[in-house]
Structure 1
Amino acid sequence: MPKILFVDDDYEFTNMLSTYISMEGYDVESSNSPKSALNLIKNNNYDFVITDIRMPEMDGLRFLQEALEIKRDLTVIVMSAYGTYETAIEAVKRGAYDYISKPFKPEELLLLLKKAEERESLKRENNRLRMQLKQESGLDNIIGNSFQIQELKEKIKRVSPLDVTVIIQGESGTGKELVARAIHDLSKRSEHPIVAINCAAIPENLIESELFGHARGAFTDAHTDRAGLFEEANNSTLFLDEIGELPLNLQTKLLRVIETKEIRRIGETKDRKVDVRIIAATSRNLLDDVKEGRFREDLYYRLNVFNLVIPPLRERVDDIPILLKHFVLKFCKKHNIREPVIEKATIEFLTTLRWEGNVRQLENAVESAIILCDSGTLAVSHFSQLKARTDEYRDIEIDEKDMSLNKAVAKFERNFIIKALAAVNGNRTKAAQLLNISHRTLLYKIKEYGIK
């Protein structure tokens, strides 16, 4: 049953119309005070509001403006008496659905309401179809038919329209940013671009300014006022990649932003309101970091309202053929190369690998193979760089008296870090880049493994 609010200072007229319209199957409320009517609009969901254009307490144009500020998509019909025709036209320009001139027959108003109902029904159906199309296109970049990926997509659809914080967990290269962008694209904030930052990629002394901005003169190189990423992401989504790398002092400030929805630029004393949805991602086990004092427990639970875990590629090998096909088409188009036939042995070989770098590693391997492919067939031989990596694993010595997998992985990781450091003459920054980990993580592992 559609719900209607009548707003008119003429009590008898309002009562007469309310009685007639309610007999036609509408749920009708009335108010003789525009200010009281605005409170009713705040606290109720009306399908239609019918208001007079001239009222002593507040004129109809001001009432229309304030009503639409409360509920932007409210359907408002204005009633105009003799001499207020131009005002009624102005009301339609400002967002009213239509107007009806007094005096009118109740049947005329009823006909106008029926037309408004039809329009609202079409709008709802249009929104439903748009949302369905949005969901399909928003998930296009998340490729795979495995049950793990189908389950992930369903969770993305469920959480996207809800304005809650999300933590995305997954190994490096699994596609955490793709998932974050899909959530944003399916959300109510998608009209504005998502803002992304990798917390591991920015030096500790710069990340506060990057996030919160600064005032002119706040520090040596602050020559002008500068808005931070929180302000840039106002009314949108801020994606904090590798949130586990955020220094503890900034974790405290991030917690305050989540709780108060306010930020303060470096060098300022005034807070600024921001409306930002936060999506965070990590390749670390944040609960372990909480236990070891590297991550604030209160911030973890503030962020972890909804948790998404992206499976590593080795746990969804059924998706490798479809991913391979996708990347082959992508890079053939990019490099203007004729699409090769993929040998069955190639697919079988790729499904046997561990894929430490996950989908990103597969993508890079396919691009390299497409460049090397000088025939019409994509063969195992074109993935020579992957074959070299598998030989490294075969060279790991196995102690039959101690078959601990954790110890074997730790030994391999230690040796791999030593090799990376040697390759760049001990430059830890370059070694971190080579290993595709943050500088902070590398320092932690050097200390953990006692590497000198």
Structure 2
Amino acid sequence: MDTILILDDEKSIVDLLSVVFHKEGYEVKTWPETADIFDFLTDEDFDLLLTDIRMPRTNGMDILEFMIRRKPEVPVVMMTAYGTIKQAVAALKAGAFDYIMKPFDVDELKIVAANALEKRRLKQENVQLKKELEEKNSFGPLVGKSKMMKEVYNLIEKVAGTDSTVIILGESGTGKELAARSIHTLSRRREQTFISINCAALPESLLESELFGHVKGSFTGAVGDKKGVFEAAQKGTLFLDEVAEMSLLTQVKLFRALQERKIRRVGGAEEIPFDVRIIAATNQDLKKRIEEGKFREELFYRLNVISFEMPALRKKTEDIPILVSQFLQKYCHRMNKKMKRMTPDVIGHLESYAWPGNVRELENVIERIVAIEDRETITAACLPPEIVAPREPAEESFVLMPDFDLEAHIAEVTKKYILEARRLSGGNLKKAASILGLSYRSLRYLIEKHDLKGLKENLVNGEASIPPRTA
């Protein structure tokens, strides 16, 4: 039930309007003149204010100004017996919903009140819809309800509230750029530019120019001054994809820019300050690259303020049906085709496949199916052969040595398979048992038998998860 507050120094007007709006189904409140008007307006909840302009203890325009400042969502209708067109225009410009002259027509006032309350409802609905839309789209195209993806969402929300440099790790096709865009969308820089540059796609000479810009005549083809992405992304976010592929020389220049928060265009002498949030990504093991002399340690520590990993698709197979549904909708709509559905065995094949290309590979498979298949129901026959019948690994050739110990060899192989199942299951013991085709009890027995440290401790503690393997 909507509540209308009536402010008027004429008791007859207050009584009349109270009866009229009660009959219309509204709750009506009035101002007890013993209370301070502005304290009363602050403390009371109401959906519409009807106020006289001239009252002995206060002025209606002051009340309007107070409402616009403190409760802008509540519409205000002004009433007066002494009004002029000039005064009405002033009230409307100040933010009043409407302006009614006394003596007024009761039916007209009921219509004005209903319109004001309807406008308030529409505003509230718009605010709620916008909020729901922002919550739904805050992670952009990132999709998934698995435990691993929920952890990623949680990290993104925390990271977005800072300006710290972030590095996103993960295999190719896991959605590192989508995660970077989500961080930007949730950050205070969301209204500014997000620029992405693939550091592996350009040779060293061009990459430096793309990053830092150049001045006219600095090299052949530099016919004018050009801003780099650091300047173009000013106040926004710069995403450096495949940052491990930079040459060592460019890494030095990038480190200096991040250290000083200034860049120098190629061929230029002026140092240009920048205010940009940096997010980097790589599918490489940066610590290994440092050991190999291919990545500078100081740059690693400059980038690695906050880091997280995008999980491989094979580690979150429970997200595959959700991803498939999204990709089907996307490409059926894009290609103007009827929505397709998949039989349960198709989903089974998709969940069993290793997906070396991760989500990107899955999306390509779905796009191909929508483009080629005319049938509305997708069966296993529509899938690429490598998904339906994965290639068996070639048999290894081996030589039996004189001191060969079959039991020790079997034990070693068993350990390797258990540890690999641990990796694929993301640390879930019951899922690891399922991957190995064992019962939970059998896997526990093998862990005890082969004295697998860490895993054994979990069994002793009664936990059903495996501690993640450290790098």
> So what's the TM-score if we normalise by structure 2?
0.58
Distance 2:154 2:337 in 1: 36
1:45-56 equivalent positions in 2, closer than 5 A: none
**Letter of the structure 1 residue corresponding to residue 240 of structure 2:** L
1:192-271 equivalent positions in 2, closer than 5 A: 192-271=192-271
Distance 2:149 2:317 in 1: 11
1:396 corresponds to which residue? 394
Q: Which runs of 5+ in 2 are unaligned?
A: 1-37, 40-56, 75-123, 400-408, 421-471
1:33-432 equivalent positions in 2, closer than 5 A: 118=70, 133-387=133-387, 390-391=389-390, 393-399=391-397
SS at match of 2:352: coil
Residue 272 of structure 1, CA deviation: 0.7
Instruction: Name whichever of 133-142 and 284-293 sits farther off.
Output: 133-142
Residue 203 of structure 1, CA deviation: 1.1
Residue 135 of structure 1, CA deviation: 4.2
> Aligned pair count?
301
Distance 1:246 1:339 in 2: 43
Contact 2:156 2:183 in 1 (8 A): yes
Distance 1:342 1:195 in 2: 37
Distance 1:332 1:129 in 2: 26
SS at match of 2:268: coil
SS at match of 1:205: helix
Residues 179-204 of structure 1: per-residue CA shift (max 9 Å, x gap): 11111111111112201100001112
Contact 2:140 2:178 in 1 (8 A): no
**Letter of the structure 2 residue corresponding to residue 397 of structure 1:** E
Residues 122-172 of structure 1: per-residue CA shift (max 9 Å, x gap): 9xx999997775343121411111010111111111111211111011100
Residue 386 of structure 1, CA deviation: 3.3
Q: Which runs of 5+ in 1 are unaligned?
A: 1-23, 26-104, 410-452
1:335/1:133 Cα in 2 relative to 1: closer, same or farther (>3 Å)? closer
**Letter of the structure 2 residue corresponding to residue 394 of structure 1:** E
Residue 385 of structure 1, CA deviation: 4.6
Distance 1:132 1:256 in 2: 42
Distance 2:211 2:302 in 1: 18
1:292/1:120 Cα in 2 relative to 1: closer, same or farther (>3 Å)? farther
1:396/1:158 Cα in 2 relative to 1: closer, same or farther (>3 Å)? same
**Letter of the structure 2 residue corresponding to residue 273 of structure 1:** P
SS at match of 1:257: helix
**Letter of the structure 1 residue corresponding to residue 370 of structure 2:** I
Distance 2:177 2:135 in 1: 17
1:130/1:376 Cα in 2 relative to 1: closer, same or farther (>3 Å)? closer
Distance 2:272 2:299 in 1: 21
1:221/1:377 Cα in 2 relative to 1: closer, same or farther (>3 Å)? same
Contact 1:370 1:378 in 2 (8 A): no
1:352/1:226 Cα in 2 relative to 1: closer, same or farther (>3 Å)? same
SS at match of 2:239: strand
Residue 384 of structure 1, CA deviation: 2.3
Residues 56-91 of structure 1: per-residue CA shift (max 9 Å, x gap): xxxxxxxxxxxxxxxxxxxxxxxxxxxxxxxxxxxx
Residues 369-403 of structure 1: per-residue CA shift (max 9 Å, x gap): 12232222101111125348x54x31422357788
Distance 1:266 1:159 in 2: 32
Distance 1:313 1:304 in 2: 24
Distance 2:343 2:308 in 1: 35
Contact 2:349 2:387 in 1 (8 A): no
1:229/1:247 Cα in 2 relative to 1: closer, same or farther (>3 Å)? same
Residues 73-114 of structure 1: per-residue CA shift (max 9 Å, x gap): xxxxxxxxxxxxxxxxxxxxxxxxxxxxxxxx9x99x98996
Distance 1:193 1:152 in 2: 23
**Letter of the structure 2 residue corresponding to residue 187 of structure 1:** S
Distance 2:131 2:301 in 1: 30
Distance 1:170 1:322 in 2: 21
SS at match of 2:325: helix
The structure with the largest alpha-carbon Rg is 2
**Letter of the structure 2 residue corresponding to residue 364 of structure 1:** N
> So what's the TM-score if we normalise by structure 1?
0.60
Distance 2:215 2:250 in 1: 18
**Letter of the structure 2 residue corresponding to residue 321 of structure 1:** P
Instruction: Name whichever of 360-369 and 334-343 sits farther off.
Output: 334-343
2:442 corresponds to which residue? none
Distance 2:73 2:301 in 1: 41
SS at match of 1:337: coil
Distance 1:212 1:128 in 2: 42
SS at match of 1:338: coil
Residues 6-62 of structure 1: per-residue CA shift (max 9 Å, x gap): xxxxxxxxxxxxxxxxxx99xxxxxxxxxxxxxxxxxxxxxxxxxxxxxxxxxxxxx
1:200/1:128 Cα in 2 relative to 1: closer, same or farther (>3 Å)? farther
**Letter of the structure 1 residue corresponding to residue 282 of structure 2:** T
